[in-house]
Amino acid sequence: MKCRKCGGAAVLELRRHNAAFCEPDFLEFFRNQVREAIRKYRMLAPGERVLVAVSGGKDSLALWDVLIDEGYQTTGLYLDLGIFDYSVESKARCEAFAARRAAPLIVSRVADAIGAPVPVIKNVTRRPPCSGCGLSKRYLMNRAALEHGFPVVATGHNLDDEAATLFGSVMHWQTDALPRQSPALASTHPKLVRRVKPLYRLSERETAAFAFLRRIDYIVEECPFAKGATSIQHKQILDRMEDASPGAKHNFLFGFLEKAQPAFARAEPVALNECARCGQVTTGTLCAFCKLADQVKRAT
């Protein structure tokens, strides 16, 4: 196969784009997609301070790599979930990357904030581990950004992640989740920082290829709790559709963002309060994170 740009030997075929690229032209294609995402949704101002949430996986480290090279003032945020060897190894990958790129990294332990690591939270709540884990991550990202004075958090969500989330929301017609599914979420309260997903135009195969070709040492092993997660099942279904019809995921997600999402946008904004205990933003009196911390305290 030949590179679409230069005619040299291709390293990667992108069926949905009906193209193949050599290494340098693929890296440029990738960076262009990130630039286009940032431009289209006005995600970041030139040179802005950005907190990049990193997990040690391919997506978040690829994102950090691109944002550094694009000239943003980045700091990594690693949330130590306390998930056995997986957390130990993923943290080491983030530290090694930060050292190699001479970029600052903040490490924050979920257990310090909530009283127990993710596996214990899972047992206490008797809910799927990803539910307590996801809630803690969103809360701690925002809190860390506020504490360290960052106006925006960037996460490594890719096209496959976004398509799978959309698929899950649509399967259950979670109409309150649909307006919030966006590559960029504006700040709707002084204590909520912006959230952006600059990789939403790139598939996870593309982010994996980018990380590999950039010689980024990322963790290939999965979180042990990922197995059987519904989002993974949805990804597998979408992979079959993509195989039968290249571009299916792209059309599903981009069609939603362009045509359907505005129809679900709320007319009335929800009232936001500050949590009576921690001061973070919530729709109730006590935020979900503080409630979870109470539950953990009672059980341990």
Partner 1 sequence: MKVVLRNPRREVDVAGGRRVRDVLKDLDILPETVLVIRGDTLITADQVVSDGETIELRPVMSGGRA
Residue whose tokens read 């290829």: 209
Query: Binding partner of residue 213 among partner 1, Zn ion, ligand SF4, none, CB under 5 to 8 Å per kind?
Result: partner 1
CB 62 within 8 A of CB 48: no
* Residue 213 Cβ vs ligand SF4, minimum distance, rounded to whole Å: 25
Residue whose tokens read 């958090």: 153
Q: Count residues binding Zn ion (CB under 5 A).
A: 11
Question: Which helix (DSSP H) or strand (DSSP E) does residue 298 occupy?
Answer: helix 288-299
As a whole number of angstroms, the distance between CA 6 and CA 226 comes to: 39
* Residue 17 Cβ vs Zn ion, minimum distance, rounded to whole Å: 14
Per DSSP, the residues of 204-233 read HHHHHHHHHHTT-----SPPTTTTT-HHHH
Taking CB under 5 A as the criterion, which residues in 38-77 touch Zn ion? none
As a whole number of angstroms, the distance between CA 104 and CA 136 comes to: 22
Stretch that binds partner 1, among 179-187, 230-238, 274-282, 289-297 (CB under 8 A): 230-238
Query: Binding partner of residue 3 among ligand SF4, Zn ion, partner 1, none, CB under 5 to 8 Å per kind?
Result: Zn ion
Q: Which spans of this chain sit near ligand SF4 (rule: CB under 6 A)?
A: 81, 118, 129-130, 133-134, 223, 225-226, 229
Taking CB under 8 A as the criterion, which residues in 121-160 touch partner 1? 129-131, 133-134, 137-138, 160
As a whole number of angstroms, the distance between CA 244 and CA 250 comes to: 14
Helices (H), 106-185: 110-114, 118-125, 129-147, 159-171
Tell me, residue by residue from 187 to 206, as one string, x for binding to partner 1 by CB under 8 A and - for no binding.
Answer: ----------------xxx-
Q: Report the candidate in 89, 91, 298 with the shortest Cα–Cα distance to residue 76.
A: 91
Residue length of the chain: 300
Query: Binding partner of residue 276 among Zn ion, partner 1, ligand SF4, none, CB under 5 to 8 Å per kind?
Result: none
* Residue 15 Cβ vs ligand SF4, minimum distance, rounded to whole Å: 28
Q: What are the backbone dihedrals phi and psi of residue 79, each rounded to the nearest 5 degrees, phi first? A: -100, 115
Of residues 25 and 59, the one with the C-beta less far from ligand SF4: 59
Structure tokens at 150: 């960052």
As a whole number of angstroms, the distance between CA 238 and CA 245 comes to: 10
Of residues 59 and 65, the one with the C-beta less far from partner 1: 59
Site for partner 1 contains 13 (CB under 8 A):
yes
Site for Zn ion contains 22 (CB under 5 A):
yes
Structure tokens at 253: 């997600």
* Residue 289 Cβ vs Zn ion, minimum distance, rounded to whole Å: 5
Position 81, amino acid: L
Residues of this chain that interact with partner 1 (CB under 8 A) are 1, 10-13, 15, 20, 23, 55, 57-59, 129-131, 133-134, 137-138, 160-161, 165, 203-205, 207-209, 212-213, 220-223, 225-226, 229, 231-232, 235, 239-240, 242-243, 246
Residues in the site for Zn ion, rule: CB under 5 A? Answer: 3, 5-6, 8, 22, 25, 275, 277-278, 287, 290
